[in-house]
Amino acid sequence: MSLLQVSDVGIAFGGVRALVDVSFAVAAGEIFALIGPNGAGKTTLFNIVSGVYRAGSGRIALAGEDVTGLEPNRLAARGLSRTFQNLQIFPQMTAVENVMVGRHLKESRSFLRHLFGLAGPDNRASRAHALAALAEVGLAGHADAMAGALSYGAAKRLEIARALATEPRILLLDEPAAGCNPVETEEIEAVIREIAAAGVTIVLVEHDMKLVMRLSHRIHVLAQGRTLASGTPDEVRHHPAVIEAYLGAHGTTEAARGRA
Q: What is the pLDDT of residues 183-216, one digit of tens each?
A: 999 999 999 999 999 999 999 999 999 999 999 9
Q: What is the pTM of this model?
A: 0.87
Q: What angle do CA 60, 229, 62 make, to 5 degrees?
A: 15
The region, left, alpha or beta by phi > 0 then psi within -120 to 50, assigned to residue 13 is beta
Residue 129 lies in domain: 89-167
User: 119: pLDDT confidence band, cut at 50, 70 and 90?
Assistant: very low
Sign of CA dihedral 185, 191, 196, 200: negative
Are residues 222 and 98 both part of a single domain? no
Q: Is the per-residue pLDDT at 57 higher than 50? A: yes
- In this structure, the answer to whether residues 172 and 240 fall within a common structural domain is yes
Q: What type of residue sits at position 240?
A: P
Measured CA to CA in angstroms, residue 254 lies from 32, 135, 228, 251 at distances of 22, 37, 20, 8
Q: Give the C-alpha distances (Å, rounded to integers) separating 115 from 106, 126, 141, 236.
A: 18, 18, 33, 56
Q: What is the pLDDT of residues 239-249, one digit of tens each?
A: 998 888 765 64
Together in a domain, 97 and 175: no
pLDDT band at 104 (very low <50, low <70, confident <90, very high): confident
Q: Is 172 in the same domain as 257?
A: yes
- Domain end position, chosen among 134, 167, 200: 167
Length of the chain: 260
Is residue 14 domain-resident?
yes
pLDDT at 252: 43
pLDDT (average), residues 94-117: 68
- Considering the domain architecture, whether residues 59 and 182 belong to the same structural domain is answered as yes
Confidence at 37, pLDDT banded by 50, 70, 90: confident
User: Domain check: are 145 and 188 in the same one?
Assistant: no
Domain stops at, among 167, 195, 227: 167
Residue 72 shares a structural domain with residue 178: yes
With a CB cutoff of 8 Å and minimum separation 6, the contacts of 64 are 1, 5
| Edge-to-edge strand list for the sheet holding 31-35 | 80-82, 170-174, 201-205, 31-35, 218-223, 226-231
Domain-terminating residue out of 167, 191, 208: 167
Mean pLDDT, residues 213-230 taken together: 95
Give pLDDT, residue 109: 52
**One-letter amino acid identity for 26?**
V
Domain match, 161 and 175 both: no
- Same structural domain for residues 182 and 242? yes
pLDDT confidence of residue 112: 44
pLDDT over 60 (residue 97): yes
In this structure, how many other beta carbons lie within 10 angstroms of the beta carbon of residue 109? 10
Domain check: are 252 and 175 in the same one? yes
The structural domain count of the chain equals: 2
Closest CA to 26 of 173, 199, 170: 170
Q: Are residues 61 and 172 in the same domain?
A: yes
User: Do 53 and 11 lie in a common domain?
Assistant: yes
Q: Is residue 84 assigned to a domain? A: no
242 within 8 A of 256, measured Cβ to Cβ? yes
Q: What is the mean pLDDT of the segment spanning 129-144?
A: 95
